[in-house]
Structure 1
């Protein structure tokens, strides 16, 4: 594992930001994963490294494994699923598309992870993380499409958390991400849709979280909320917060009591000084698919222009996860979190033990990190041409294209669906007969 006393970097070698202007390179409805984008659109990370950002809050899975009840464990797994999205906030750069056969590894005190690009068309990235307390694995087939003003990112693929101590597993698919105003105006993003986390091997609990649309007045921007329910659909706990900030949990009775109290306050005279804010607060507690029965009346009163009071005011709540503040200089470095700052760092002696296909060794990413956009663009073109020439050569020789070295396409035992699962041996560090892809 990684050295406990190593100080990871908190800046990049050169300042940089992403320029987003899609007018000249794409057309409406086009799948961006099939387009060679200019490096000015990129941040200096491979998509495999972005996948690794799932692990920034891996401590939540350690906490999940330490919980004594299925409900307690699912709460922390849900917090982990939400936390994985926090690093994308205000990050507008596109990661580099991994080359077929590219890998990325990361070792930290409490986990290690290996990622591999297992397919080029369609692009599929597989990953496997493990520790003494958990196993986390999955594959992601991202689809990016442009729709006039917005880019939609659909992270297709199932992810799985296993807690061996409890013989339990949890599966889910991430929600969609929408990047707004990519042509004109201020860029901003939202995560949107329903996230359903299924528990396998325990008492079949389920967490259903709604990532809310900002709405016309922005009151629900970044909000996520929902319930954990049992097999009989009984509400066990209420989860709520913002995927950019924190996730909290409380008993459903506390949620209901808060709604009732606000409803009683809402019966005060219309000219009461706090009346509009009471209505706004009540509006803030509507819960995605779990819309309260009184919501229609609230919706009729929601055009009062008042800001929505924060949803994290339910008394008796417990914070499951809170985001780590970003470095104060992050705006100079692609809005990277401190965790992301270190992902492309070559620690002393690392290049000698890395697999030759590791993303840290990609010259185009390295040059962009160093501030050399022209050099990065030239290297990006060279690598893409080398990959095409390799594919043509194999086709001419009637040789199969690169077979994934560390993952195999098989059946996920928890979902029954086909998936890419780790087949072991990467950490033996036997990298013989590895193709030179850089």
Structure 2
């Protein structure tokens, strides 16, 4: 670590990091970009919203078991990714508070937004609130979809087995078309763990609340959809089955007592409410697959060596690649060029820690010089403006990044 009289903010050792910048984690939203392409190909507003909702959920799938913390981006840091069917540019546009802006486009869609995560520590748990609105535009249909991601909870950060869950309501609003809304609930694992990772909800009319489609599944595995009436018929069938004498709560209590003599264990007094899906209301009914459903999205299995590489997905493993397609024109502020990240990737923890401290010192010193000279620190590729679909302040792409004119770029690394 650097020595001397400089004062440093307390920060976690690089042992807690994974070798990616938060900007690269933002770019991971695009792993299932094919869902937006599928959305644009649908003929009805409900069908388009189905696939946009699946995309919103799929963007969270790579978080599962990714317990390493990404590196905080430096002010002015960028990350680009160009694939066959999309390209994305991300930039760290603010330091206090930290804000990451991004803009992705293709022939079929535009995806943009800004994220400024906030962390709250609750004893042994950490809550990550991903503040900021994201927007998908489908130009062909003159429609836009906006939402804010749900919270991520890290459990047992001090003692015990570390694990995570996504929790809360995800509301995706459609504008410019039929004004529909998808409201998906990310369930809490609860006492029994039976709802771990479960996601479910409806596409409805914004005004009449009429239910069109039921969407369900797990954010770690995939999503399916069916007509709302098929869901309701399935629920009624489950209710009828659970009202039969063989499935009544009283019958279950008798069985529990009989089993306890054989197993040597009694159920907790509230276990009947867990066993009986009608006890907690419709939202807790266990629906694994409804006849007539279609598959919207299925998670791509992680490579066999994933656990040896920070539990990365195959998509994440490519994010630091120095691809030949840049033709020597990779922006000097790109996350791939950060020495602390590259040293951690190579297994040099001490070297990574030293570089991380050096970069933070350099950023701090640069900020002081600019403040003394009254030099503004405006982002290069984004500007603060009003999102036309939300009416709220947002960071919008100004264009021209892909012209690759990187003259007069500050050396931040």
Q: What residue is the counterpart of 2:305 in the other structure? A: 329
**2:211 aligned partner:** 235
Segments of structure 2 that go 5 or more residues without pairing to the other structure are 1-8, 253-269, 278-283
Cα displacement (A) at 1:272: 8.3
Q: What secondary structure, in the 3-state scheme, does the structure 2 residue paired with 1:114 have?
A: strand
Q: Which of the numbers 34, 40, 47 marks the counterpart of 1:72?
A: 47
Q: Distance in 2 between matches of 1:271 and 1:396?
A: 75
**What is the distance in 1 between the residues matched to 2:319 and 2:327?**
14
User: Does the alignment pair 1:313 with 2:289?
Assistant: yes
Does residue 302 of the first structure (1) align with residue 265 of the second (2)?
Answer: no
Partner of 1:59: 34
Other-structure match for 1:296: none
Render the CA deviation track for 1:116-152: whole Å, top value 9, x for unaligned.
0000000000000000000000000001222111111
Residue ranges of structure 1 left out of the alignment (5+ in a row): 1-33, 277-298
For 2:197 and 2:49, the matched residues in 1 are separated by 22
Distance 1:350 1:311 in 2: 48
CA distance, structure 1, for counterparts of residue 275 and residue 143 of structure 2: 47
Match of 1:5 in 2: none
* Corresponding residue SS for 1:320: strand
Deviation for aligned residue 1:311 = 2.4
Q: Any idea what SS the aligned residue of 1:376 has?
A: helix
Deviation at 1:352, TM superposition (A): 1.7
Contact 1:197 1:206 in 2 (8 A): yes
Q: Flag the structure with larger Rg.
A: 2
> Which of 354, 364, 368 is residue 388 of structure 1 equivalent to?
364
Deviations 1:48-83 (A, max 9, x none): 000001000000000000001101100000000000
Structure 2 length normalisation: TM-score? Answer: 0.89
Note the aligned Cα RMSD (angstroms).
2.0
1:186–1:433 CA distance, 2 compared to 1 (3 A):
same
| In structure 2, distance between residues paired with 1:247 and 1:103 | 32
Matches of 1:131 and 1:349, distance apart in 2 = 18
* Contact kept in structure 2, 1:175 and 1:194, CA below 8 Å: yes
Does the 8 Å contact 1:248/1:312 carry over to 2?
Answer: no
Query: Is 2:385 the counterpart of 1:414?
Result: no
* Cα distance in 2 between the residues matched to 1:351 and 1:370: 25
Change (3 A) 1:52 1:349: closer
| Structure-1 separation of matches of 2:236 and 2:45 | 29
2:136 corresponds to 1:165:
no
Structure-2 change in CA distance of 1:391 and 1:80 (3 Å): same
Deviation at 1:436, TM superposition (A): 0.2
Q: CA deviation at 1:301?
A: 3.4
Are the counterparts in 1 of residues 120 and 128 from structure 2 also a CA contact under 8 Å? Answer: yes
Matched, 1:376 2:347: no
Please tell me whether the aligned partners of residues 214 and 221 of structure 1 are also in contact (alpha carbons under 8 angstroms): yes
Specify whether residues 229 and 186 from structure 1 end up closer, same or farther in structure 2 by C-alpha distance, changes over 3 A only.
Answer: same
